[in-house]
Amino acid sequence: FEQSEDNLRSPICCIMGHVDAGKTKLLDCIRGTNVQGGEAGGITQQIGATYLPAEKIRERTKPDATLKVPGLLVIDTPGHESFANLRSRGSGLCDIAILVVDIKCGLEQQTIESLNLLKMQNTKFIIALNKVDRLFGWKKCPNAPIKKALKQQSEDVLNEFNIRLTQIITQFKEQGLNRELYYTSKKMGETFSIVPTSAISGEGIPDLLLLLVQWTQKTMVEKLTYSNEVQCTVLEVKVVEGHGTTIDVIFVNGVLHEGDQIVGPIVTTIRALLTPHPMEELRVKGTYLRHNEVTASMVIKITAKGLQHAIAGTSLYVVRPDHDLEDVKEAAMADMKAVMRRIDRSGEGVYVQASTLGSLEALLHFLMSPDVNIPIGGIGIGPVHKKDVMKAGVMLEKKREYATILAFDVVVSQEAAELAKAVNVKIFSADVIFHLKRKFEAYIDELKE
Ligand code: GTP
Ligand code: MG
Ligand code: NA
């Protein structure tokens, strides 16, 4: 492929930051959706992905904006501390990031964690200084460019804005970063990358989108040029009614076709290439568009035989006529082993069960973290059935407190619940990951008494 500004794939942009800084809400504002309102506990617990086509970006910026990229693929990540693995996975996939900072809170623990991830991966990022509408006395100017909105504000509001901005700039300096408001210089680049925003009334959203597009298409031409090598990562393995087990993938570069042979780690053939509609969040159930061919970047749902053996976090490889299948298989196995080493546990401990591999991985990561430290004896994916209760029951004779199932975001079948009651296996269910810890610890305390 020819490397030029006229032959670019969509940049991938990851949204990161502390819990409740407004990452999902910013995306809602851009999409015109309310995904955040539907989240359990108001927190994000999975990686999300949305494709924003260039024409939609133009509608939110200005009609004469020069957009050379076909669109933007935006990845939403959770800010809660338990999801460090998902932040790491999300940021590992992106070309550029938005670091969301709550203007009233400044830099917080996961802001700094995200910052360190971005530094480590050498990823450039824009800072969205969010929730400006919460400055006392803010006059809303829906969807206005930020300079225009600031012009409408009283002196008191501008004073508070400036004080908070200066404090946050100092906090960035303490992290070794020199950052300023983006419009204080015509020079595009890391220094001038702070964009004040409101996810509720939309001030600064045009600025944010325009800066993202202009910065990537101007400075990342090499990285964003189409490649013949397919680059693709599995986000989730999911059962979807009518499609069987499917995989959601972040398709970073290349071209995919229906009928392509894929490896990762199973060898199979793509039956259907499906995408959510543009501007719609992958995490939200909806209808899909079917394609014969998809060019990167994109979020895709792939249907094929044998996908129940695919593993979140691994790469997907495409076998082209000039490839040796055995070589491709070997590369895919190496990836899988690395992930399995992290999640495959056996021994004394509780049985944990989650809805998808991605959420299971997050749950295990949380339970195994030093300050939680709950031992894991077995793992499962999908609804809790009798067989899972039987597996957890193995612990009854060894350590009674571990004869427990921690069920994250899954249903417990009637028979499983009855069996658990009969044999004295405890099942704790929650759709917020850290509630499982609380329930389990309360149970341990109760046993001790
Ligand atoms: P996690 O994904 O759980 O880490 O949170 P998040 O960063 O995605 O934040 P989220 O979008 O869930 O927003 C958290 C809360 O802040 C919600 O109640 C939002 O309505 C509110 N919020 C987000 N952005 C703004 C904003 O610009 N202004 C105001 N007033 N509220 C906001
Ligand atoms: Mg969120
Ligand atoms: Na939240």
Domain 12-224 has CATH 3.40.50.300: yes
pLDDT at 354: 87
Q: Using a 6 Å CB cutoff, which residues line ligand 1?
A: 17, 19-25, 36, 42-44, 78-80, 100, 130-131, 133-134, 198-200
Q: Would the pLDDT of 30 be above 80?
A: yes
CA of 326 to the centre of ligand 2 (A): 41
Identify the band that residue 174 occupies on the pLDDT scale cut at 50, 70 and 90: very high
Q: Would the pLDDT of 242 be above 90?
A: no
Over residues 214-241, the pLDDT tens digits come to: 999 999 999 999 988 899 998 888 888 8
The domains spanning 12-224 and 344-448 adopt the same CATH topology: yes
Architecture of the CATH domain 344-448? 3-Layer(aba) Sandwich (3.40)
pLDDT at 368: 82
CA of 40 to the centre of ligand 3 (A): 9
Question: Quick one: average pLDDT of 370-399?
Answer: 88
Over residues 32-53, the pLDDT tens digits come to: 999 999 999 999 998 999 999 9
> In the 3-class helix/strand/coil scheme, how is the chain assigned residue by residue?
CCCCCCCECCCEEEEEECCCCCHHHHHHHHHCCCCHHHCHHHCCCCCEEEEEEHHHHHHHCCCCCCCCCCEEEEEECCCCHHHHHHHHHHHHHCCEEEEEEECCCCCCHHHHHHHHHHHHCCCEEEEEEECHHHCCCCCCCCCCCHHHHHHCCCHHHHHHHHHHHHHHHHHHHHCCCCCEEHHHCCCCCCCEEEEECCCCCCCCHHHHHHHHHHHHHHHCHHHHECCCCCEEEEEEEEEECCCEEEEEEEEEECEEECCCEEECCCEEECCEEEEECCCCCCCCCCCEEEECEEECCEEEEEECCCHHHCCCCCECEEECCCCCHHHHHHHHHHHHHHHHHHHCCCCCCEEEEECCHHHHHHHHHHHHCCCCCCCEEEEEECCECHHHHHHHHHHHHCCHHHCEEEEECCCECHHHHHHHHHHCCEEEEECCHHHHHHHHHHHHHHHHC
Q: What percent of the chain has pLDDT over 70?
A: 96
Q: Would the pLDDT of 420 be above 70?
A: yes
pLDDT at 268: 96
Q: Would the pLDDT of 339 be above 60?
A: no
Q: Domain segments of the chain: what residues?
A: 12-224, 231-340, 344-448
Q: State the closest ligand 1 atom to the C-alpha of 134, by its place in the atom list counted from 1.
A: 30
Over residues 309-337, the pLDDT tens digits come to: 787 778 899 999 899 999 999 988 876 66
pLDDT at 68: 95
Distance CA 351, CA 358 (A): 17
CA of 336 to the centre of ligand 3 (A): 31
Q: Would the pLDDT of 347 be above 90?
A: no
CA of 18 to the centre of ligand 3 (A): 9
Mean pLDDT over the full length of the chain: 91
Question: Quick one: average pLDDT of 110-135?
Answer: 94
Q: Would the pLDDT of 261 be above 70?
A: yes
Q: Would the pLDDT of 283 be above 80?
A: yes
Question: Quick one: average pLDDT of 380-391?
Answer: 90
Q: What is the pTM of this model?
A: 0.82
pLDDT at 366: 81
pLDDT at 118: 92
Identify the band that residue 186 occupies on the pLDDT scale cut at 50, 70 and 90: confident
Architecture of the CATH domain 231-340? Beta Barrel (2.40)
Atom 10, ligand 1: which residue's CA is nearest?
A: 22
Over residues 87-111, the pLDDT tens digits come to: 888 888 899 999 999 999 999 999 9
Complex prediction ipTM: 0.99
Choose one of 25, 45, 161 to mutate for the ligand 1 pocket test, by most ligand atoms within 8 angstroms of C-beta.
25
Q: Regarding predicted confidence, which is higher, 371 or 233?
A: 233
C-beta separation of 131 from 22 below 8 A: yes
**Ligand nearest to C-alpha 22:** 1
pLDDT at 342: 56
Identify the band that residue 120 occupies on the pLDDT scale cut at 50, 70 and 90: confident
Q: Would the pLDDT of 364 be above 90?
A: no
234 phi, psi to nearest 5 deg: -80, 125
Identify the band that residue 148 occupies on the pLDDT scale cut at 50, 70 and 90: very high
Question: Quick one: average pLDDT of 116-125?
Answer: 90
Q: Regarding predicted confidence, which is higher, 403 or 337?
A: 403
Over residues 47-89, the pLDDT tens digits come to: 999 999 999 999 999 888 899 999 999 999 999 988 877 888 8
